[in-house]
Structure 1
């Protein structure tokens, strides 16, 4: 589907395991894209796409843009409608494929209605529609992490390529047995109440975590309040490195988190960021941990100022 001498455009901070997987394709060039609070920087995307575009001789696409537009991992960003429309417009103009990792879409906690996902902006009734967006979904985030079953939504023109994939044809699908169980869970109406319970628990945890951070996080730090998903992305003061704070935090409070550099496409980036996840611990433990993290951060910032 993609030319092996082509490009992978990726948000400057992205899901670290996806990034690790991309690096195995050594003939593809990974290009980082700037992120704003409302999604990818469209000007940066167009400049970098325009200057690298080439005509592939034997593949459908010369490049892929991989992103997580709804409750982005690790930043928690929800791409705005303007950004979503812009991505689709650029994908049509420069003929690259957009792959959306849409695994957090139903985890919307805000009282305001959530706008449509990015794929919906690649409208089939448009005069210039060809089909430039793929959506990847997963039951692992809404039933349980060990499920390892998901689905793809693709434009009609790309279905034959996936249908004739040797990987898929070899076994009929990627996880037959578990897919059958998941299908039965929905048919028997057993999955829906389970998902509702998880949703309520995640929402309660996220709102509680945000409340603690707004109250106790040092005012020299910054975060964008997520309206859904699992993650909160903390920006530290310039003089503070997340890796050093992690060591301090573990030593004094036995609390860990993932530092921003783990998600960075470029070496040396992300040192002033770290990610908190609300998905694992129950609310009480999460609130206690974040509160102690904030206390440790205040002490650590003070110690850095005096060195």
Structure 2
């Protein structure tokens, strides 16, 4: 019996959004941990941690964010920061404290979306209220979102009160939740402009929405042109939390929460993240039941990260290891796509080439198969079955709770795929793209 081609090829996974283990800063983690155990107060560090996290780490993160983003609204202060068990935990805790299944009218997710966030919303009791919003050339479609928010608000009793009360420990409940990844989005790779961010904040204020933005990829950024030095990357696009507090008319609670994580820049297993928002909202985050019971949900790991951040080891790791490595991989992948896939009608969504001034980053890019003779699902199936290549097909990025999500995606993201460059080395990435080209040719016969 002749073996299938796939049985002779080593598996390549371009779907998983994980950093390569060799990039984990093991020496730096070891040094930080060793330094902690040499401290005379190590026994204190092994106790329950403060609900909002170590004050030293909160301050170190605030300083790091201030240095990184240079927000026009002023420095980030520690009162704006709380420590979490990672971005997923940050989202879950925010929903526990600031949403109410009987009062919150909708969760609005950009489509294509990070589909693994959906179960977190369902666990918060918001199943049946999770809706998709199309993504345009500049992030979430704000006209569509505004119209849908207005429709829902008009059929909602304006006198309705949350079941979660102030007296019960819930000082603020939002009418809507908007979930997006505004910079180097997962899965599309897109980044919202500053003007669109301002418009989104104004919409959120009008409709009493909390915009939860996963800001987990922002610091992984580089010039798209390989002829430009890394130092030419320029200023960050202001985060939504900075736009919110810099726009006239902001409230004490605000309408944004920045959800950060060290999973992508230290290691996923470190299980430490942070949230940033207005001080009133952050203070309330410290009253989430599980946190009150057990203290900071990532206490010991968080003080390891504190050592790495305060010593400069983490910033050095990002600048000297992660960014150069990911940039080289991104360049190898995009060049291979243009060489092997573009002649077949494939395109990188939002591709402007490696022109001067363009910024790339994050973990992902999105391919469109719309101009191919074969469908996206067929291409993905043949790639896996015949070429032992796993890609993330567009169908998994719909909003499963919204029946109209896949209908809207029929002409766009459903006939595409997300690819990740963070896991594989350059030579493997190029091999994967060549296999994908063969799969497309096979699917088109």
Q: Give the TM-score normalised by the residue count of structure 1.
A: 0.91
Deviations 1:204-258 (A, max 9, x none): 1112211111222144222223721111111112753322212211232211111
Aligned pairs for 1:19-34 (under 5 A) are: 19-28=118-127, 29-34=129-134
Aligned pairs for 1:67-216 (under 5 A) are: 67-110=180-223, 111-113=232-234, 114-124=236-246, 126-130=248-252, 131-196=254-319, 197-216=321-340
Aligned to 1:232: 365
Aligned to 2:71: none
Deviations 1:175-208 (A, max 9, x none): 1121111111222332233222012111111122
SS of corresponding position for 2:257:
strand
Q: Which stretch of structure 1 is more off in the superposition, 285-294 or 112-121?
A: 112-121
What is the alpha-carbon distance in structure 1 between the residues aligned to residue 273 and residue 423 of structure 2? 21
Q: Is the 8 A contact 2:329 2:421 kept in 1?
A: yes
What is the alpha-carbon distance in structure 2 between the residues aligned to residue 25 and residue 164 of structure 1? 16
Aligned to 1:295: 438
* 2:341 is the alignment partner of 1:217: yes
Deviations 1:248-285 (A, max 9, x none): 11232211111111111145445312110001001111
Aligned to 1:57: 161
SS of corresponding position for 2:263:
coil
SS of corresponding position for 2:175:
strand
Q: Is the 8 A contact 1:49 1:94 kept in 2?
A: yes
Q: Is the 8 A contact 2:222 2:361 kept in 1?
A: yes
What is the alpha-carbon distance in structure 2 between the residues aligned to residue 126 and residue 285 of structure 1? 50
Q: Is the 8 A contact 2:214 2:259 kept in 1?
A: yes
The structure that has the greater radius of gyration is 2
Aligned to 2:354: none
Cα distance change, pair 125–8 in 1 and its aligned pair in 2 (3 A): closer
What is the alpha-carbon distance in structure 2 between the residues aligned to residue 163 and residue 88 of structure 1? 25
Q: Which stretch of structure 1 is more off in the superposition, 133-142 or 197-206?
A: 197-206
Deviations 1:148-189 (A, max 9, x none): 110000112313321211122222211112111111122233
Cα distance change, pair 129–26 in 1 and its aligned pair in 2 (3 A): closer
What is the alpha-carbon distance in structure 2 between the residues aligned to residue 25 and residue 179 of structure 1? 26
Q: Which of residues 415, 420, 438 is equivalent to 1:272?
A: 415
Q: Which of residues 99, 104, 112 is equivalent to 1:2?
A: 99
Q: How many residues align?
A: 302
Q: How far does residue 125 in structure 1 lie from its aligned partner after superposition?
A: 6.2
What is the alpha-carbon distance in structure 2 between the residues aligned to residue 184 and residue 157 of structure 1? 27
What is the alpha-carbon distance in structure 2 between the residues aligned to residue 201 and residue 193 of structure 1? 13
SS of corresponding position for 1:198:
helix
Q: Is the 8 A contact 2:260 2:275 kept in 1?
A: yes
Q: Which stretch of structure 1 is more off in the superposition, 250-259 or 119-128?
A: 119-128
Q: Give the TM-score normalised by the residue count of structure 2.
A: 0.64
Deviations 1:90-123 (A, max 9, x none): 1112221100110001011225534222222112
What is the alpha-carbon distance in structure 2 between the residues aligned to residue 117 and residue 109 of structure 1? 17
SS of corresponding position for 1:146:
helix
Cα distance change, pair 299–85 in 1 and its aligned pair in 2 (3 A): same
SS of corresponding position for 1:23:
helix
Aligned to 2:70: none
SS of corresponding position for 1:151:
strand
Structure 1 spans left out of the alignment, 5+ residues: none
What is the alpha-carbon distance in structure 2 between the residues aligned to residue 124 and residue 3 of structure 1? 28
SS of corresponding position for 2:238:
coil
What is the alpha-carbon distance in structure 2 between the residues aligned to residue 125 and residue 222 of structure 1? 37
- RMSD, aligned CA: 2.0
SS of corresponding position for 1:9:
strand
Q: Which has the higher contact order (CA 8 A, sep 6+)?
A: 2
